[in-house]
Structure 1
Amino acid sequence: MNRLQEWQEQLKLVFEKKTSDALIPPVLFFLINQWLSLEIASLVTSIYLVGLIIYRKVKKDPGKYAYVGVLGVLLSIGLSLLSGEAIDFYLPDLITTGGIVLICFGSLMIQRPIAALLSHLTRGWPLDWYKRSDISPAYKYATIIWGSYFLFRLVVQSYFYFTDQFSSYFFFNTLLGLPMTIVMLIGSYVVGVKTLKKLNGPSVEEFNNGDTPPYEGQQHGF
């Protein structure tokens, strides 16, 4: 498996079908708010969300990410309507970013890097493998990268939010957010895999088999 295929596999695990569901509502809300009004933008975006749920039902798609996304966007719409300010559409997003920062650095403080837990949940690898001293540092480095990235986003988003720069928040968060996140994920993946190789720990298969050193090590996946 070449590097490009590895990166594609990693990104697929993270995004699955969530990308379009996450991108379309804020784009729709932004454009209609710019052209017409906050109320019409809220109405049209809500209609789109209802249509999305109906589509998932007809296609018999479990749509778990769609349902979560719909609730989040409806909350955002509700907040913006209550305040009468379009920028409050992004308040839940700002709070979420802050929460991610706390989780990343909090997990490092308790020696349980969130990158390891998420890898365990998505790949199903044994949790004890991640706790090894010749494995765990790789996931700590990845978590540091994640935390630093989201801290940067939090600072920029906070500035745009508290200075009421709705358009700037939209362009930074929606149009630049996905490319930046992809670069961050690939970067943390590359750093993590290289660190695993330097640590000379066992691969998941070697760990499950109870093999002894010297190890071949984890060659693919993180």
Structure 2
Amino acid sequence: MSKARELLEEIKSVVSGKTVDAVFPPFLFVFSNSFFGLNTAVGIALVSALILGVLRLFRKENWFYALGGFLGVVFASGFAYLTDNAANYFIPTVISSAAIVLAALTTLVIGKPLAAWVSHLTRGWPLEWFWRQDIKPAYTEVTWLWLLFFLFRLIIHVVLLVDGDALTLVWVNTILGWPGIITLLIISYIYGIARLKKLKGPGVEEFIAGKEAPWKGQTRGF
């Protein structure tokens, strides 16, 4: 039960309510486009994103998420409007997937895995800990997992985008969006902790304190 609670806390810290921002406007866009046409769909998507942003600010949530969500819809709607193709609403998703694939591959080639950088930036743990030979393999393997997931998502989106299938795109984007990413994070967390245990390296606090082996290892957080 404690492990399940730990996982929920970890996922909550990453997601923090952004799922609605990612799912609601695309659904409204495709639905509106089917009944009212592209121009109206663009307007409805923008208004929905603006309302979500205002609600976030009203609830005193991070303004960065409010602005980011709105600008994301503006960017996506702009692609659809300028090309007069509803399916192109999802071009930014294709671009983001391609960027993550490129970033993951680049960091693997240089031996500084993306998962380690993400963990360092979100948790503030010292970079030197991540690059230890009894720590880094766990982050390298998780980065490979991320690479395969986003490569698969990229291929699926490109195929559907070429076909111009906006309706299927919105469903795929929903499944492989936050639900898929949350699943990926859960698998990464469970696998990462288990892998660190097998590697028998020091936990972050043990590393910072300069403790000698044998170590207890990292028991929470990845």
Same fold by TM-score greater than 0.5: yes
> Is 1:12 the equivalent of 2:12?
yes
1:60-99 aligned within 5 A: 60-99=60-99
Q: Provide the TM-score with structure 2 as the length reference.
A: 0.94
Structure 2 CA distance for aligned equivalents of residues 39 and 161 of structure 1: 19
Which secondary structure state, in structure 1, belongs to the residue aligned with residue 216 of structure 2? coil
1:127-138 aligned within 5 A: 127-138=127-138
Question: Which residue of 2 is the match for residue 26 of structure 1?
Answer: 26
Q: Which amino acid aligns with 2:165?
A: Q
Deviates more, 1:85-94 or 1:24-33: 24-33
Q: Provide the TM-score with structure 1 as the length reference.
A: 0.94
Question: Which residue of 2 is the match for residue 177 of structure 1?
Answer: 177
1:18–1:66: 8 Å Cα contact kept in structure 2? no
Question: Which residue of 1 is the match for residue 201 of structure 2?
Answer: 201
Question: Which residue of 2 is the match for residue 152 of structure 1?
Answer: 152
2:21–2:49: 8 Å Cα contact kept in structure 1? no
Which secondary structure state, in structure 2, belongs to the residue aligned with residue 221 of structure 1? coil
Deviations 1:4-63 (A, max 9, x none): 122212212221231111111111111111222111111111122222333334343332
Identity %: 40
Question: Which residue of 1 is the match for residue 3 of structure 2?
Answer: 3
Q: Which amino acid aligns with 2:90?
A: Y
Deviates more, 1:178-187 or 1:107-116: 178-187
Structure 1, unaligned stretches of length 5 or more? none
Residue 116 of structure 1 and its aligned partner are, at CA, apart by: 0.7
Structure 2 CA distance for aligned equivalents of residues 167 and 208 of structure 1: 51
Deviates more, 1:57-66 or 1:69-78: 57-66
Aligned residues: 222
Residue 176 of structure 1 and its aligned partner are, at CA, apart by: 4.7
Residue 167 of structure 1 and its aligned partner are, at CA, apart by: 1.1
Alignment root-mean-square deviation, CA: 1.5
Structure 2, unaligned stretches of length 5 or more? none
1:87-126 aligned within 5 A: 87-126=87-126
Question: Which residue of 1 is the match for residue 54 of structure 2?
Answer: 54
CA 1:6–1:56: 2 relative to 1, 3 Å:
closer
Which secondary structure state, in structure 1, belongs to the residue aligned with residue 144 of structure 2? helix
